[in-house]
Amino acid sequence: MSAIKERIIGALTVMSEPDAEKIWILIEKEIAPKSWDDIGEVEPDEWDLKMLKEIKNNPECKEFVSKEEAYKELGLA
């Protein structure tokens, strides 16, 4: 994480709730994308391509596991 992002997070941590709400409104109004169309596309990198190939070729990548089953497998249930 960049130093400026760490400074922003630090400032938010000690900020009052009303001031944090003002910052959020500013972000929504001036910075945040208005719709999915406002988000630019990027070319997939090597890691992305590897994951896409794995999804396409590995049948286990197509299996769905419920939240409950995942919790059991991870020992969280």
The torsion angles phi and psi of 40, rounded to 5 degrees, stand at -70, 155
Separation of alpha carbons 25 and 38, rounded Å? 18
What pLDDT does 61 receive? 81
Residues 9-65: pLDDT tens digits?
999 999 999 999 999 999 988 887 778 887 888 999 999 999 999 989 998 887 788
**Residue range 53-66, pLDDT digits in tens:** 998 999 888 778 88
The pTM of the full predicted model, rounded to 2 decimals, is 0.40
**Whole-number CA gyration radius for the chain:** 20
What is the rounded distance in angstroms from the CA atom of residue 8 to the CA atom of residue 43?
29
Is 28 within 8 Å of 34 (Cβ atoms)? no
